[in-house]
Structure 1
Amino acid sequence: MSFIKTFKDGIKYMEIWPEDPILGSIFTEGRVKYIMRLGKYLLPPFIMFLIVWNFIMGGGLKGVEFFYTLKSNWPVTLCCVLFLLVLPLQGYYWFGKRASVKLNKKQKLYYEDLCKKLQKEPLLDPVMMDFAVTVKEGLDKFGRDILKTL
């Protein structure tokens, strides 16, 4: 599986995964999805804070030229900013890897049972992406009652 395909699958899997308290207590996807959404709003202001902090700590408000200021602290700030920009990519990569994990026995039995209720043919070797799609369809069609047997 290629690196780019893993990211694309991760984005798709994150969008498909249903948000429900019952699923959140069993699977980690709900918590990671929440952190990813929170990071989307918190990271840009924090990155701007790092850049402004670099400018102020380098003497930017004391009459020192801007370019001179950035030369002294720029490598550390650049490393911090790059680290913060890579964090969401790590989350998408985790979702992509998680989407291709095969189901364990209990999950596979639940998946097959849910496919029978939805009147669709279950796959022979389902992965978590198939599980998420089926659970989302079941939630849309039957409501939260289907999760009680999970």
Structure 2
Amino acid sequence: MTTIGFEVIMGIFHVWHSGIMYAGLWPDQPILDNVFREGRVIRILRKSADILPPVLALTLIWSYCSGSILPESFRYIPWIGTVVTAANCVLIPLSGYWWLGKRAERLLSGKSLSWYQNICAKLNITAELAPNGLSLAGVLKKASRDRELFKRITDEM
């Protein structure tokens, strides 16, 4: 494997890791869903962790059972659906964490940046010079611990 290929693979893992950290750091406050999509995506990913393993198990059982009653020349057909279902059960969470990782690493601009600076000022925290989505999630998490402050911040959205 070349050095460039290794860097690409490590970059992919870094984005996934950022997405997982972002999902763990993002506050679970439904009021934020009006402005940010992250909360909805995180809830979908958590539900998929509950739903996708049984779907995969049922698909494997169905493929095994239905493959034994088909004629010999058609036995591969149920396994095609199983492979596609298994790929989706793996790729749906990976693509969700990829999207979250990209959002976490993106630099804030416009209203998000001014909102970030406003929250930092209210929390008496020094704002970063070039904040990204992960910085915003951390500040929102700290702000969500104080209900009254969080209420005032969300009223200003």
Q: What TM-score comes out, normalization by structure 1 length?
A: 0.86
For structure 1, which runs of at least 5 residues remain unmatched after alignment? none
In structure 2, what residue type is equivalent to 1:116?
A
Q: Which residue of 1 aligns with 2:123?
A: 118
Within 1, Cα distance between the matches of 2:137 and 2:77? 49
Shift of 1:26: 1.1
Q: Which residue of 1 aligns with 2:156?
A: 149
| Runs of 4+ with deviation above 6 angstroms | none
CA contact (8 A) 2:63 2:79 kept: yes
Question: Which string of whole-angstrom CA distances, capped at 9 and with x for unpartnered residues, describes residues 9-38 of structure 1?
Answer: 100000111111220111111110111011
* Deviates most, 98-107 or 74-83: 74-83
In structure 1, what residue type is equivalent to 2:55?
F
CA contact (8 A) 1:55 1:70 kept: no
* Deviates most, 8-17 or 140-149: 140-149
Shift of 1:71: 4.7
Question: Which string of whole-angstrom CA distances, capped at 9 and with x for unpartnered residues, describes residues 104-134 of structure 1?
Answer: 2211111111111111111111111111111
Q: What TM-score comes out, normalization by structure 2 length?
A: 0.82
Are 1:28 and 2:33 an aligned pair? no
* Deviates most, 38-47 or 84-93: 84-93
In structure 1, what residue type is equivalent to 2:61?
V
| 1:121-136 correspondence runs (5 A) | 121-136=126-141
CA contact (8 A) 1:54 1:70 kept: no
Q: Which residue of 1 aligns with 2:63?
A: 54
CA contact (8 A) 2:68 2:75 kept: no
CA contact (8 A) 1:39 1:88 kept: yes
In structure 2, what residue type is equivalent to 1:4?
F
CA RMSD of aligned residues (A): 2.3
Within 1, Cα distance between the matches of 2:104 and 2:141? 14
For structure 2, which runs of at least 5 residues remain unmatched after alignment? 1-9
Give the count of matched residue pairs.
Answer: 146
Match of 1:96 among 87, 93, 101: 101
Within 2, Cα distance between the matches of 1:8 and 1:81? 22
CA contact (8 A) 2:105 2:133 kept: yes
2:145 match: secondary structure: helix
Are 1:78 and 2:83 an aligned pair? yes
Cα separation, partners in 2 of 1:91 and 1:106, compared to 1, 3 Å: same
Overall identity of the aligned pairs, in %: 30
Within 1, Cα distance between the matches of 2:74 and 2:34? 49
